[in-house]
Structure formats: structure tokens, C-alpha cells
Copies of this chain bind each other. A is one copy, B any other.
Amino acid sequence: MGDEPEGSNERRQAWVTVDLAIFTIRDDHLHVLLIERGKEPYIGRRALPGGHIRGSEALDGAARRELREETGIDGLHSHLEQMRTYGDPDRDPRGRYVTVAYLALVPDLPVPVAGTDARRAHWVPVDKALADTPGLAFDHEVILRDALEQTRSRLEYTTVATAFCPEPFTVSDLRHVYEVVWGVPLDPSNFRRKVTRAEGFLEATGGRRVSDTGRPAALYRRGPARTLIPPLMRSAEVGATGIEWSPVAADA
């Protein structure tokens, strides 16, 4: 694990930050909100939005503040969840940094992104964010991959997919979320059967949405359930790392 000057074996304080993987769905692709760094290190590189926690602030509070600053969203129409903490001693050249990564799922925003913060924020397709060179700043590529896998897994066992949909939404809107996040087509009929039978997932509003083509679709809002019973499992192939919980390797 290296033995550079700072890397003593003594206890030391560390800077603590929160970083956010904020996902949304735009034109058939999963996008993540990235900022362009305006200073060293990694100047000009893309990074997940985030920042230091403040003296009197809880971790969740710092994450919510960052989400609001970057998107203008105040958590009411979004899902915000702690994901995982990253603290390798050399992950930031400025010193010992520990970052608590959060996962946010938001509907495609009607308001332009970038609130009070001067940094330029962009929606970037996740595939592109992970493939472009140079890559993301710091260890943000690892964080983004973990966030993506966690999101895919969450859709199986929870009802968070609705966080991507502005209310009210149709069953097709919801299916579209699953298809985009998992990257596989789903049978419309079987999907409908499952989500409408799962207790507390959807609540019919009674309304219908007419489009210029096809039969009008019934409208729903989010139901009270947070866990999805029975789960809606992806069948292999899907971005299948199969690893959701990454145990600590025996020789790290």
C-alpha cells in the first residue's frame, strides 16, 4: 500500500466529501450528471458533482444540499440513497480524502441543470462517460460503475424505478425505464402483469394519456411500497457483473 511521506501508520484526520451519481433517462439512454473541473487536480476533466461536508452538516444533508445545488431538485421528486464510501489513501493527490458516494435517481428535468453553482454541469450518457478518454477524475469511474450496478440491482428488488418518471406515468413509461437501465427489451404484456399485481407499486389515477397514435394509456402514480414483491429479476445477460455487494477481497 505504498509508504510515501504522508502515509504513516498514525491516525490522521481526513477530508470528508460527498459525491453524487445522479442518473436520469433522456431520449432512450441513461444519463449521469457530470461537472467539468475548473481547478487542479484533474483540471478540465469530468467528475461527479460533490463537495466537502460542512461542520454542522450530516452526510445525508450534505448530499441533499449538493443535489439541490446541482439540479435544483429538493428531494421531493427524486430518490437519494447512500451508496458506498471510497477512501483509498492515494485516491486524491491533495491528501487523505474519504468520499461518501450517493446515488440519486431523478426524472428528466424540465428546468435547466445547474443551480447556484458556477460549475458547468452536463447530462452525459453513462456509456459515454465510462468509455471516453481521458476518463473521469479521481476514482469516479469506479464509483460510477458501482452506482450503475447498484441502480440495475435496485430495479429488481425495489420500486425506485418510479423515481425516473414524472407523475403521472404509464406502465409503458415505467417499462421504458427498465429497458433503458437494463439494456434489454421486455415483453410488454408480462411486464404489465407483474407491476400491476405487485402490491403497492402503482396506484391508478383514473386518468388516461392520449397520444397521437395508439390506444390511450392508463395513468398511475407511485404506490406506498418500497420493496418489490415478488422481485422483477433480469435474466442473466444484463450488464451482468452479478456482484452487487463486493465483499472485501482476502488479500487487499
Which chain A residues have a beta carbon within 8 Å of chain B's beta carbons? 1-4, 6-16, 52-61, 63-64, 74-76, 79-82, 84-89, 96, 98, 100, 102, 154, 157-158, 160, 226-227, 229-231, 233, 242-250, 252
B55 contacts A88, C-beta separation under 8 Å: no
Work out how many copies of this chain go into the complex: 2
User: Are B9 and A52 in contact (CB-based, < 8 A)?
Assistant: no
Specify which chain B residues have a CB less than 8 angstroms from the CB of A227 in the assembled complex. 242-244
Are B87 and A58 touching (Cβ within 8 A)?
yes
Complex Cα distance, B244 from A244, in Å, reads 14
Once the chains bind, are B59 and A98 in contact (CB under 8 Å)? yes
**Which of chain B's residues have a CB closer than 8 A to the CB of A245?**
81, 154, 158, 226
Q: Is the CB of B252 within 8 A of A3?
A: no
Interface of A is mostly: loop
Closest 9 CB pairs of A and B: A7-B56, A13-B13, A11-B52, A80-B248, A8-B55, A59-B87, A60-B248, A85-B85, A75-B250
Apart from A157-B244, A231-B231, what 10 extra A-B contacts exist at CB < 8 Å? A12-B55, A60-B249, A82-B248, A85-B100, A98-B100, A102-B248, A158-B244, A226-B247, A227-B242, A230-B233
B231 and A58 contact, CB distance less than 8 A: no
Q: Is there an interface contact between B233 and A81, defined as CB atoms closer than 8 Å?
A: no
CB distance from A43 to the nearest CB of B (A): 20
Partner of A56, one of B3, B52, B76, B102: B3
Closest residue of chain B to A61, judged by CB? B252
| Residues in B whose Cβ lies below 8 Å from that of A63 | 248
Contacts of A10 on B, CB cut-off 8 Å? 54-55
Known: A7-B55, A252-B64. A16 touches B81 (CB 8 A): no
